[in-house]
Amino acid sequence: MNAVLETPAGLAVRVRGVSVAYDGVPALRSVDLTVAPGGWVCLLGANGAGKTTLLHTIGGLVSLAEGDVSLGESAVASLGRRGVARLVARVPQRPDVPPAMTVVDYVLLGRTPHIPYLGVEGPSDLRAVAAVLERLELTELAGRRLETLSGGELQRAVVAVALAQEAPVLLLDEPTAALDVGHQLQVLELIDELRRERSLTVVSAMHDLALAGQFADELVLLSDGRVAAAGSPRSVLTQDNIERHYGATVRIVEDGDGRVLVLPSRRRSSPR
Amino acid sequence: MARTNLAEAPPGSLPKSAGLRPSRLRPGVVAAAVVVLLLAVAAGLLIGPVHLGPGRVLASLADRLPFVHLRSGLSPTDDAILWELRAPRVVLAGLVGATLAMSGASYQGVFRNPLADPYLLGVAAGAGLGATIAAVYLPAAAAGAVGILPAAAFVGGLVAAMLTYVLGRSGGPARSAGSLILAGVAVASLFTAAQTFLQQAHVQTLRQVYSWILGTLGTASWAQVRLILPYVAVSAFALLLHRRLLDVMGVGEEEARALGINPARVRATIVVAATLGTAAAVSVSGLIGFVGIIVPHTVRLIAGTSYRLIVPLSILYGAAFLILADIVARTAAAPEEIPIGVITALIGAPFFLVVLRSSSRSFR
Amino acid sequence: MSRGVALPALLVLALVSSACASSSSAGSGGGSSAASASPAASFPVTVHAANGNLHLAARPTRIVSLSPTATEMLFAIGAGSQVVAVDDQSNYPPSAPTTKLSGYQPNVEAIASYQPSLVVISYDPGSLEKSLERIKIPVLLQPAADTLDDVYAEIDQLGTVTGQTRGASSLVSSMKTKIGQLIASAPTFTPPLTYYHELDQTYYTITSKTFAGQLYAMVGLRNIADAAKHAASGYPQLSGEYVVKANPDIVFLADTKCCHQSAATVAKRPGWNQIAAVKNGNVVGLDDDVASRWGPRVVDFLAAIVAALKRVQAQRSAA
């Protein structure tokens, strides 16, 4: 659609035997993960299972105790910070948004990996920003301060920054956490559209199992830093898996279109 | 959804619809600031406890231009007052004001704290201690017009900032911004205590540093201007080059790293550049407070929150502000001087109230 | 105080105080036998001091002075042998027993360790007096003098409390005589000469309301800082421009010791080469201490001022 934006075709993400520890406490233990170019893998797991750490690992933001990560042909360790930033874009869980910054300035930050260290943005950067704003329907809001945006608009702005980076790999940490159900679907549909348009490789971490099951190609369930289950949504979202690794009782429902829906269900317990 | 036709927009620009352009320093805004500065300089040369006559001052000014010869009608004494006392004072006020304002703005950006001022990392306390040590142990050398006092203050300021930096990094990279500020508080307290101790033990030196500590431009000379100009110029140059990066730092360490910059290195560079300028300014003017907070915040109110605007405008308006404050300091109670720190504080205190009330938004 | 009033007033005072002296020798010169006359008859004594009534039962032989001026006075009236410790700023006379005691930050225990029978102070930083009273040490407060009369009164008071009344009265009368002679010998100028008295190199100065300012006024000098109407404290900070413009005939530097200023350093200041005092070589360096204390060396201070006036007179008659 936009010939102006030049995103390289999708890259494969390969995580091999990665272990990460924070202050001696292991966060990931020998994790393997492969994401095909243009694919969408969603990480699942209880709080503290290691989802965010794994995302940080792919983004080159943590040091590895062992193992390696590669993006396409290149090992993350061999790329500089800028190199990684050109290949991987993040949508963080709780973005630290400068409240008084305007939308257009904020989205322009996404161009940082492409602008020389002491330089200023060039015409291609401005075109990329304009294209992204248009795609995410933020053009009318471009001059507004971030603090004046609604939750959904702000989320779109945060996604816009990541898209402006024109990176082939997109990492999303709880992209729907603060949104109502309408906006949740809107954002995820948008991601899906974009990934198909540009062959983005998407890795997301989500709590919402029902949404994860409907949008991702593959699910990876982490537990205590290890991969407990990986595969198609049907194979991972089983009552057994969820009870064991989340400690919750659920009902699995398969609808006619082959989608797997996870419904939390209360134990029938003591009378009120 | 407004569909804009990108193909029609001239290359290198976003369509001209309002708000679609990123924050850029527009020529009109710069011109306004330059005009304000020029007016301040003119006022600084024309106004003072000694009445010189505007016509004669302008004639004398014109006479200094190459190829222009004009009899200004000023007596030798008045001429000396204008060019040996008032002019260097105006220039020094401009340099010091610009430096304090841009350093304050840079620290606010790099620490994401609206109350960060140029003295945050202990520069003021270090400079005070340096000056006191020079006054106590090398009093003869400290006596000249540009004696050892500025150099000692400069070194003291840098030593304190370095100590703060070393201590602050021990908090680990994840917490370095917060640790730096805490380390700065600790270092400032330590150096201030040492300074007070020395002053108590050598009461006769109190006199020599007393004025300096209050902040004064009363002994400004061209020699002092020449002394600090290189440092101030280097500092300004470095900070101006980094203003886009200050905007990037606004999203926090982790995301800045994810965008491909090294926040620790950017912070170090900016801190070094700002500290260099501040130490130089403080070494000749003493400790003038509030400039580093009033000016950047005012610029934000006028021009927006992008550091690409704030840093250059802080330089221009900071210079104008201190020149004007100095005019008040030397004229309001003429022939007496009011310490300039008092003037900036008198403006600063109500200013804070205004900032608090007019905005519920925080400035980053 | 104009000169017309000062001289007769001093003469009257001289007569009055010598009439009150208990010793027989009135007039100049400290009689060397003064100290030997038994002062025991003068005690117990009660003086009405600035800090209330001070009652001394016996002649104090262990005096601690925390006031450099009081130190000078004590030694000048012959009570030096009664002084056991003086503060760290008391540098005159050189034979005074200087210690690390501080007049600004007094340590009561340190003072008490000298077992003083009397402590003389010029300034109470807060509760020093009360603390000393609690441990039954008598304290005499002699604050900074406002006029020469205050100076003479303080000397007499010290004479009374130390039993050196003869020494005190002879000091007072010798001072009065010398001061009278100095004032009489000071040349007059029409119009009067102007002066600038510098306390530090950032242009802190005194007005003629201060003690030192009055001395200058006694010999007819006009102070350029008197235009500073708001100088409530008497110690304003002037702007450099104003000093240059005011063009004082004489510059007195009271910052030669603290701040190492001299005629040479002053001449290098921007714009100062235009000042008459600098052009004619009438920049006078004073001893900081002499210029700031109100003791017997006030005479030396006045002598320096008069010498400067005489130099100007010589320049003008030579020109």
pLDDT digits (tens, 9 = 90+) for C169-182: 999 999 999 999 99
pLDDT tens figures, C194-253 = 999 999 888 889 998 899 999 999 999 999 998 766 656 688 889 899 999 999 999 999
What pLDDT is attached to residue C85? 94
- Nearest alpha-carbon partner for C57 in C147, C143, C118: C118
What pLDDT is attached to residue B225? 93
CA distance A112 to B319: 31
Please report whether residue A108 resides in a domain: yes
- Whether the pLDDT of residue B364 is over 50: the answer is no
- Whether the pLDDT of residue C192 is over 90: the answer is yes
Highest mean pLDDT among A208-217, B267-276, C172-181 belongs to C172-181
**Cross-chain CB nearest to B49 (options C230, C241, C273):** C241
**Cross-chain CB nearest to A143 (options B19, B252, B300):** B19
HEC profile for B14-52?
CCCCCCCCCCCCCHHHHHHHHHHHHHHHHHHHHCCCCCC
pLDDT tens figures, A2-27 = 334 455 567 888 888 888 888 888 88
- Return the C-alpha torsion angle B231, B236, B237, B240, nearest 10: 160
- Nearest alpha-carbon partner for A227 in A28, A42, A38, A70: A28
CB atoms closer than 10 angstroms to residue A121: 18
CA distance A223 to A216: 19
Range of the domain at A223: 13-264
What's the whole-number mean pLDDT along residues B10-18? 46
What pLDDT is attached to residue A100? 85
Q: What percent of chain A has pLDDT over 70?
A: 95
What's the whole-number mean pLDDT along residues B167-184? 75
Report the CATH architecture of C3-13+36-180. Answer: 3-Layer(aba) Sandwich (3.40)
Cβ neighbourhood burial of C125 (10 Å; 0-12, 13-18, 19+) = exposed
Give the Cα-Cα-Cα angle A127, A131, A135 (nearest 5 degrees). Answer: 175
**Nearest-neighbour CA in chain B from C257: distance (Å):** 9
What's the whole-number mean pLDDT along residues C52-72? 92
- For residue B97, is it left (φ>0), alpha (ψ between -120 and 50) or beta? alpha
Query: How many structural domains is chain A composed of?
Result: 1
- Whether the pLDDT of residue C35 is over 50: the answer is no
Q: Residue C138: CB partners within 8 Å, gap ≥ 6?
A: C54, C55, C56, C60, C117, C118, C119, C132
pLDDT tens figures, C282-301 = 999 999 999 999 999 999 99
Whether A90 contacts chain B with CB within 8 A: yes
**In chain A, which residue's Cα lies nearest the Cα of B363?**
A100
**Cross-chain CB nearest to A81 (options B2, B262, B306):** B262
pLDDT tens figures, A74-112 = 888 888 889 999 999 999 888 888 888 899 999 999 999
Are C268 and B84 an interchain contact pair (Cβ–Cβ within 8 Å)? no
The model's confidence at residue C30, banded by pLDDT at 50, 70 and 90, is very low
Cis upstream peptide for C191 (omega within 30°): yes
CATH topology of domain C186-318: Rossmann fold (3.40.50)
Cα dist from A124 to A131, B11, C249, whole Å: 10, 8, 73
Torsion sign (Cα): B245, B247, B253, B254 = negative
As given in the structure block, the two tokens for residue B308 are: 């690409």
What pLDDT is attached to residue A9? 65
Whether C196 contacts chain B with CB within 8 A: no
- Nearest alpha-carbon partner for A212 in C314, A226, A112, A241: A241
CA distance C2 to A119: 74
- Whether the pLDDT of residue B176 is over 80: the answer is no
Cβ neighbourhood burial of C283 (10 Å; 0-12, 13-18, 19+) = buried
Burial letters C47-71, b for 16+ CB under 10 A, else e: eebeeeebebeebbeebbbbbbbbb
What pLDDT is attached to residue A187? 82
- Give all domains of chain B, ordered by start, each with its CATH number: 36-42+75-355 (1.10.3470.10)
Residue recorded with tokens 């936009």: A2
- Whether the pLDDT of residue B278 is over 70: the answer is yes
**Cross-chain CB nearest to C271 (options B85, B139, B337):** B85
- Whether the pLDDT of residue C9 is over 50: the answer is no
B and C: touch, per 3+ CB pairs < 8 A?
yes
Query: A97 φ, ψ to 5°?
Result: -95, 125
Cα dist from A95 to A17, A139, B22, C174, C297, whole Å: 29, 21, 21, 86, 75
What's the whole-number mean pLDDT along residues C42-71? 90
Are B219 and C201 an interchain contact pair (Cβ–Cβ within 8 Å)? yes
What pLDDT is attached to residue C93? 93
Are B200 and C104 an interchain contact pair (Cβ–Cβ within 8 Å)? yes
A–B interface: beta-carbon pairs under 8 A:
126
What's the whole-number mean pLDDT along residues B141-150? 65
CA distance A251 to A262: 6
For chain C, the domains span 3-13+36-180, 186-318
| Position with higher pLDDT, B205 vs B101 | B101
> Which CATH number does the domain housing residue A249 bear?
3.40.50.300
Lowest mean pLDDT among B57-61, B142-146, C274-278: B142-146
What pLDDT is attached to residue B363? 47
C257-316 residues touching B, CB cutoff 8 A: 257-261, 265, 268-271, 273-274, 288
Please report whether residue A151 resides in a domain: yes
What pLDDT is attached to residue C234? 81
- Whether the pLDDT of residue C27 is over 50: the answer is no
What pLDDT is attached to residue B11? 43
What pLDDT is attached to residue C115? 93
Q: What is the ipTM of this complex?
A: 0.84
The model's confidence at residue A266, banded by pLDDT at 50, 70 and 90, is confident
pLDDT tens figures, B209-259 = 777 777 888 888 898 999 899 999 999 999 999 999 999 999 988 899 999
**In chain C, which residue's Cα lies nearest the Cα of B326?**
C239
End-to-end CA distance of chain C: 32
Are B254 and A92 an interchain contact pair (Cβ–Cβ within 8 Å)? yes
CA distance B266 to B246: 8
Please report whether residue A5 resides in a domain: no
Please report whether residue A22 resides in a domain: yes
What pLDDT is attached to residue A4? 41
Q: Is residue A166 within 8 Å of residue A112, measured between CB atoms?
A: no
Q: Is residue C178 within 8 Å of residue C190, measured between CB atoms?
A: no
Whole-number average pLDDT of chain A: 85
What's the whole-number mean pLDDT along residues B154-170? 86
